[in-house]
Amino acid sequence: MKKILVLGGTGFVGAHVCEKLVREGWHVTVPTRRRANASHLLPLPTLTVLELDVHNEAALAQAVAGHDAVVNLVAILHGTQEAFNKAHVALPQKLARACTAAGVKVVVHVSALGANALQPESAPSLYLRSKGQGEAVLMQAAMGGGAQAGAHAGFALTVLRPSVIFGADDKFINLFAKLQKLFPIMPLAGAHARFQPVWVEDVAQAVVRSLSKFSGASGAAAPQVIEVCGPDVFTLKELVQLSASLSGVRGGRGRPVIALPRWMGMIQALLMELAPGAPLMSRDNLDSMQIDNVATGKLPGLEALGIKPAPLKPIAQDYLTQGQASYGLPGIRLKSR
């Protein structure tokens, strides 16, 4: 049975990836700091959980050994430059060394739309710059660059660059719907930023298809970069309004959305950063939104992997209405009265 290590397998995207890999006949290993974080994955029959810190290079190298492929989904959205470097640059460096030493054949790395491996510093935010740097590290290793004596030369690499990802457990569309149930108005920073939301199932399928595409790879092939986007483009304001419409806030009318100028948006983001817990938005997020989060059209998309991207509206409508009385069988009964 083919063996694969999935970093970040306990997260939102990771759970979908792991389920698909198991269905495809892979034996999946998921490292995590705490086994309890992977409790939702334990029912999968060919999945093993390893309790370790992936940032510990010796432990990571030991975990990578014996696997045919690796998927890296580790990412953070908020943090300092040091935190972004640790998650998006230093970890790929450690992973590249471990994969090269262990002779891993295939690596799939999930990055972000807007990252640029050729010119990382051209990106407007810490998040995107670190994402580009991480891509560059893996691309160099994939081509055999920096391989030490006695190490295997390179691996087949696919870099997936998704736009914002939506799905039943997302913290994006769901968050906007919840906020509108709490607040009378929606002051919104980055209201005119454009996104091309992609369904989490399509992202997971892209990971699996990328692995199958290079199942017979011997390494040192040119890395492939794929833009992972849905079929429709929305502004952030349109997404907020759509979340209200689909979840039935004020009868589907939602709350008034007030677009904030950039300086006010930066103040709002700063206040959110100072609040306890993970911020809803940071100043670095606003910096990322200075460029559109949509496909450039210069790189292959999901269609190159044989995937027809799903539209947001019908899927989001389903999961946003599940808590309403009109959803499912109870709704049918209500309508028949």
pLDDT 10s digits, 165-218: 999 999 999 999 999 988 899 999 999 999 999 999 999 999 999 998 765 545
**Which pLDDT score is estimated for 146?**
57
pLDDT digits (tens, 9 = 90+) for 106-159: 999 999 999 999 999 999 999 999 999 999 999 999 987 655 545 566 899 999
pLDDT at position 88 over 60: yes
Angle at 143 between CA 125 and CA 207, to 5 degrees: 65
Which pLDDT band holds residue 337 (cuts at 50, 70, 90)? very low
Share of the chain above pLDDT 70, in %: 90
pLDDT at position 332 over 70: no
Separation of alpha carbons 279 and 89, rounded Å = 22
**Which pLDDT score is estimated for 139?**
96
- Classify 251 as helix, strand or coil: helix
**Would you put residue 27 in left (φ > 0), alpha (ψ -120 to 50) or beta?**
beta
Domains and CATH numbers, the chain: 3-165+198-228 (3.40.50.720)
Q: What is the average pLDDT score of the chain?
A: 91
pLDDT at position 335 over 50: no
Strand partners, 47: 28
**Which pLDDT score is estimated for 329?**
37
Counting every residue written for the chain, the total comes to 337
Q: Which of 40-44, 169-173, 281-285, 330-334 has the lowest mean pLDDT?
A: 330-334
Q: What is the pTM of this model?
A: 0.91
The mean pLDDT value for 314-322 works out to 90
Highest average pLDDT, of 204-218, 284-298, 315-329, comes from 284-298
Which pLDDT band holds residue 325 (cuts at 50, 70, 90)? very low
The mean pLDDT value for 318-335 works out to 54
Q: Strands, E, within 196-266: which ranges?
A: 198-199, 224-228, 234-235, 257-259
Which pLDDT band holds residue 220 (cuts at 50, 70, 90)? low
Task: Answer whether 293's CB lies under 8 Å from 182's CB.
Answer: no
CB atoms within 10 A of CB 204: 23
Separation of alpha carbons 27 and 18, rounded Å = 10
pLDDT digits (tens, 9 = 90+) for 223-244: 999 999 999 999 999 999 999 9
Q: Which of 146-160, 175-189, 264-278, 305-319 has the lowest mean pLDDT?
A: 146-160
All residues at 6 or more sequence positions from 113 whose CB lies less than 8 Å from its CB, including other chains: 161, 162, 163, 196, 227, 228, 229, 293, 294, 295
